[in-house]
């Protein structure tokens, strides 16, 4: 295939949203010919599901139940009302909901009229939300009604900063705001509107964990995202009897589409929603709702295992526990089957695309010690060293990937794209990975400058930028510190202007005035006079990481 040029592709773009990079035509043709891309919009998927199993229950949340037929009907009504708010094909809207049936009704209403939801997390705060809003020139912002956190105030703050936001919509009632999501779903006499999206266009934006600065927006098309969850649902063995528990935020790619809730809908099963990943809450639901599948990050898996070891609960309905988002320690992986009584499926995925799963019938050794096989025969994987050269087969190298559901570029990010993608369109995952003779991948670590706190990806640069605004901080370097519970936590090395220490409480108080998500707060601070430097004079993060690792080791030994 001819070399891929970002510039010419952008110019020759015909049907993709401005600011997104399409697959070159010859790749698109191959992906269609091989049946990965089927030309069915996500909105049309829901019509098909409702026609196939109208009275089956699609979603359960507490006392609420939604059949596929209701789901489809509500999505139509909401689509029509969103249209009346003058939300149009290709308009972007910020969606920041907790796990609620209305999250799904909303995104499918959007898919129908071509409005593109930006799936942000409940933990994001004003700094991040204002960034997403201004980058995308979002027209609306949807938040939960107030419970433990005042999302309405957050949204109002963002709207003040970003004038493109015309509407705030609340999932509930709030006297301060005009639009209530439940009321917009109530049937009215207005005329139904036709589906307005096309399968090759962008359906939704996911967020990257981010390597530099704020999380990037990841455009996923109807075609590619459908393949993502359809193929995943086969590999995870979903069918009509699947009862899937979503405890992670469903705006994340893992519980949404890997195979997640959308994979359940594709197979006609039932999604049970919860906002409580604690073992107590989850075990109760697994027992009561006869849950068959669920997905968690390693931190949660560890807590569940510890709790199941000491407490009797009936988890007999559980067939598969999927664990992904961060490296699962082998010792923990080994306990899943004996302690929880279900199969483990490791998932190594990324919102940018590539997904890998251990197969349900892999032998136990492979399941506990690898992160699985890519899902598609046309996932092209390369493993390279720091110079970008191919490493010998089986050796660890940075994983580069290209394929039918892996993006060719982030939204509106030409400079970052020039670094994050090779000229011929491979995404540089930043993960150091090796491939076993069986084809299974083993994730060794990360080349990128990020902290993975139990699955939450935190950009070191992002935290540094906030800290550098502190009047007493001269310089800050953020690295991961290994941690038994979370895998990694945020550790900051600081140089203060007066040379005197600065504690975590002061740092936390400062970050809270900047409206930064709490999971980004440093949990270890080290005062230094100067940073170690590389021979070109950059801060040597590698040695800072080693120092942090040593601190963590010393702490463990003294505990």
Binding region for ligand AMP (CB under 6 A):
208-209, 324-327, 346-352, 371, 429, 431, 443, 446, 457
Specify the residue, 24 or 404, whose C-beta has the smaller distance to ligand DBH: 404
Token pair listed for 160 = 């003040």
The end-to-end CA distance of the chain, in Å, is 57
* Least distance (Å) between residue 297 CB and ligand AMP: 9
Task: State the binding partner of 94 from ligand AMP, ligand DBH, none, CB within 5 to 8 A by kind.
Answer: none
CA-CA distance, 46 to 251, in Å (whole number)? 18
Nearest distance, CB of residue 407 and ligand DBH, angstroms: 12
Contacted entry of ligand AMP, ligand DBH, none for residue 425, CB cut-off 5 to 8 Å set by kind = none
Give the nearest distance from C-beta 457 to ligand DBH in angstroms: 7
Coil, strand or helix at 330: helix
Q: 33 CB contacts (<8 Å, ≥6 apart)? A: none
| Cα 368 to Cα 195, 321, 430, distances in angstroms | 45, 12, 23
Cα separations (Å) of 406 from 66, 123, 161, 220, 228? 32, 26, 33, 9, 9
For ligand AMP, the closer of residues 446 and 489 by Cβ is: 446
Under 8 Å between Cβ of 333 and 302: no
Q: How far is the CB of 353 from ligand DBH (least distance, A)?
A: 9
Name the 3-class secondary structure at 112: helix
**Residue among 206 and 291 whose Cβ is closer to ligand DBH:** 206
Minimum gap (Å) between residue 54 Cβ and ligand AMP: 35
Q: Could you give the string, one character per residue 308-347, with x where binding to ligand DBH holds by CB under 6 A and - elsewhere?
A: ----------------xx---------------------x
If one asks whether residue 254 binds ligand DBH (CB under 6 A), the answer comes out as yes
- Cα 251–Cα 275–Cα 207 angle in degrees, nearest 5: 20
258 binds, among ligand AMP, ligand DBH, none (CB under 5 to 8 A by kind): ligand DBH
Q: Tell me the HSE value of 506 on the side-chain side, using a 13 A CA sphere.
A: 11
Q: Verify binding: residue 355, ligand DBH, rule CB under 6 A.
A: yes
What does 140-165 look like in DSSP terms, one character per residue?
Answer: EEEEEPSSSS-HHHHHHHHHHH-TT-
Residue with the two structure tokens 């952008």: 10
Q: Token match 């390693």: residue?
A: 298
**542 Cβ neighbours under 8 A, 6+ residues apart:** none
Q: What's the closest the beta carbon of residue 44 comes to ligand AMP, in angstroms?
A: 27
Q: Taking CB under 6 A as the rule, does residue 235 contact ligand DBH?
A: no
What are the residues facing 387 on neighbouring strands? none
CB of 42 to ligand DBH, least distance (A): 17
207 vs 473 by CB, closer to ligand AMP: 207
| Residue number of the CB atom closest to ligand DBH | 349
Nearer Cβ to ligand AMP, position 168 or 333?
333
Per CB under 6 A, does 253 bind ligand DBH? Answer: yes
Whole-angstrom Cα distance, residue 218 to residue 136?
11
Q: Please give the DSSP secondary-structure letter assigned to residue 425.
A: S
Q: Which is closer to ligand DBH, CB of 121 or CB of 479?
A: 121
Residue from 350, 420, 517, 539 that binds ligand DBH (CB under 6 A)? Answer: 350
For residues 514 and 103, give the distance between their C-alpha atoms in angstroms, rounded to a whole number.
28
Give least dist CB 530 to ligand DBH, A.
35
CA-atom Rg of the chain in angstroms: 23
101 touching ligand DBH, by CB under 6 A: no
Nearer to ligand AMP, 274 or 346 (CB): 346
For residues 271-280, one letter each, b for 16 or more C-beta atoms within 10 angstroms of the residue's C-beta and e for the rest, the string is bbbbbebebe
| Three-class SS of 503-537 | CHHHHHHHHHHCCCCHHHCCCEEEECCCCCECCCC
Q: Does 244 bind ligand DBH (CB under 6 A)?
A: no
Min dist CB 407 to ligand AMP, Å, is 10
Q: Which lies closer to ligand AMP via its Cβ, residue 61 or residue 347?
A: 347
The listed partner (ligand AMP, ligand DBH, none) that binds 429, CB under 5 to 8 Å by sort, is ligand AMP
What is the binding site for ligand DBH (CB under 6 A)? Answer: 253-254, 258, 324-325, 347, 349-351, 355
């Amino acid at each position: 295939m001819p070399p891929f040029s970002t510039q010419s592709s952008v110019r020759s773009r015909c049907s993709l949203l401005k600011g997104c990079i399409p697959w070159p035509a010859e790749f698109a043709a191959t992906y269609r010919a091989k049946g990965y891309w089927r030309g069915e919009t996500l909105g049309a998927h829901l019509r098909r599901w409702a026609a196939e199993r109208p009275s089956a229950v699609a979603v359960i949340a507490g006392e609420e139940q939604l059949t596929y037929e209701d789901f489809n009907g509500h999505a139509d009504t909401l689509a029509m009302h969103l249209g009346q708010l003058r939300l149009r094909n290709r308009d972007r809207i910020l969606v920041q909901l907790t796990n609620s049936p209305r999250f799904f009704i909303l995104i499918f209403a959007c898919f129908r009229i071509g409005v593109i939801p930006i799936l942000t997390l409940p933990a994001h705060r004003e700094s991040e939300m204002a960034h997403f809003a201004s980058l995308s020139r979002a027209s609306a912002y949807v938040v939960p009604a107030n419970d433990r956190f005042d999302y309405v105030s957050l949204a109002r703050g963002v709207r003040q900063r970003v004038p493109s936001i015309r509407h705030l919509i609340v999932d509930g009632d709030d006297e301060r705001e005009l639009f209530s999501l439940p009321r917009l779903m109530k049937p009215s006499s207005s005329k139904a509107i036709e589906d307005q999206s096309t399968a090759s266009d962008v359906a939704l934006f996911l967020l990257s964990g981010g390597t530099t600065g704020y999380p990037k927006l990841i455009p996923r098309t109807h075609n590619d995202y459908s393949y993502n969850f359809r193929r995943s649902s086969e590999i995870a063995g979903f069918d009509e009897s699947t009862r899937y528990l979503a405890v992670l935020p469903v705006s994340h790619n893992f519980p949404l589409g890997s195979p997640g809730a959308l994979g359940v809908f594709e197979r006609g099963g039932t999604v049970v929603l919860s906002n409580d990943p604690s073992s107590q809450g989850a075990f109760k639901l697994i027992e009561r709702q006869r849950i068959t599948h669920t997905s968690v990050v390693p931190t949660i898996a560890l807590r569940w295992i510890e709790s199941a070891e000491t407490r009797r609960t009936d988890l007999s309905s559980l067939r598969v526990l999927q664990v992904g988002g961060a490296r699962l320690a082998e010792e923990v992986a080994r306990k899943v089957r004996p302690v929880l009584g279900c199969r483990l499926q490791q998932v190594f995925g990324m919102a940018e695309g590539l997904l890998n799963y251990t197969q349900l019938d892999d032998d136990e050794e492979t399941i506990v010690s690898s992160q699985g096989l890519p899902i598609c025969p046309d996932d092209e994987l390369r493993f390279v060293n720091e110079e970008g050269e191919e490493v010998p087969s089986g050796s660890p190298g940075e994983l580069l990937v290209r394929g039918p559901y892996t993006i060719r570029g982030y939204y509106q990010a030409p400079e970052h794209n020039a670094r994050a993608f090779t000229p011929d369109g491979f995404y540089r995952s930043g993960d150091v990975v090796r491939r076993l003779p069986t084809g299974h991948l083993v994730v060794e670590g990360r080349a990128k400058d990020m902290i993975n706190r139990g699955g939450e990806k935190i950009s070191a640069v992002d935290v540094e930028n906030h800290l550098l605004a502190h009047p007493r901080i001269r310089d800050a370097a953020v690295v991961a510190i290994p941690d038994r519970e979370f895998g990694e936590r945020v550790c900051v090395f600081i140089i203060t202007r007066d040379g005197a220490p600065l504690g975590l409480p002061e740092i936390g108080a400062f970050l809270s005035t900047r409206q930064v998500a709490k999971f980004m707060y440093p949990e270890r601070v080290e005062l230094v006079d100067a940073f170690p430097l590389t021979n070109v004079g950059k801060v040597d993060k590698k040695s800072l990481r080693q120092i942090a690792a040593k601190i963590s080791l010393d702490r463990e030994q003294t505990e």
